[in-house]
């Protein structure tokens, strides 16, 4: 059974880079026709898709974070990662990783990890 697990620092200082990794178990990340996504939920707000990547490295980003967000697929392990530069308090959120088909329906999610941007 496919499982996803987010991992990374819980506290990030303003202006620094927020980095998270999603570990994938139960299936290979090198599967055609599927994408690996990052979604976040700021406190008291709804879900926001941030970006997705195919295992071949084709990435797409939400305009609100384009230029700050970089999503990559792990070169040797079954994982993918995100790096969000120039973090601000507005980036404080629960961050989820998920797997989706080309139609964007997200069938499998991680449990999420809370990241706080604060000095």
Query: Residues in the site for another protein, rule: CB under 8 A?
Result: 37, 39, 45-49, 51-52, 60-63, 96, 100, 103-107, 109-112
Distance between CA atoms of 65 and 49, rounded to whole angstroms?
10
Distances (CA, A) of 89 to 18, 38, 52, 97, 116: 11, 18, 23, 20, 7
**What is the distance between the alpha carbons of residues 15 and 4, in angstroms, rounded to a whole number?**
28
Closest to another protein by CB, 87 vs 100, is 100
Least distance between another protein and beta carbon 86 (Å):
21
Select 64 or 118, whichever has its Cβ closest to another protein: 64
Please identify, using beta-carbon distances, which residue of 62 and 68 lies nearer to another protein: 62
Name the minimum Å distance from CB 92 to another protein: 16
């Amino acid at each position: 059974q496919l499982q996803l697990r987010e991992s990374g620092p819980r506290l990030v200082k303003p202006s620094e880079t927020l980095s998270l990794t999603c570990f994938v178990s139960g299936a290979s990340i090198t599967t055609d026709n599927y994408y690996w996504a990052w979604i976040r939920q700021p406190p008291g707000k709804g879900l926001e898709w941030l970006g997705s990547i195919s295992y071949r490295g084709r990435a797409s980003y939400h305009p609100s974070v384009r230029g700050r967000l970089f999503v990559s697929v792990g070169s040797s392990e079954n994982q993918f990662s995100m790096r969000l530069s120039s973090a601000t308090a507005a980036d404080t959120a629960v961050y989820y990783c998920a797997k989706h088909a080309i139609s964007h329906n997200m069938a499998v999610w991680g449990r999420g990890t809370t990241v706080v941007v604060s000095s």
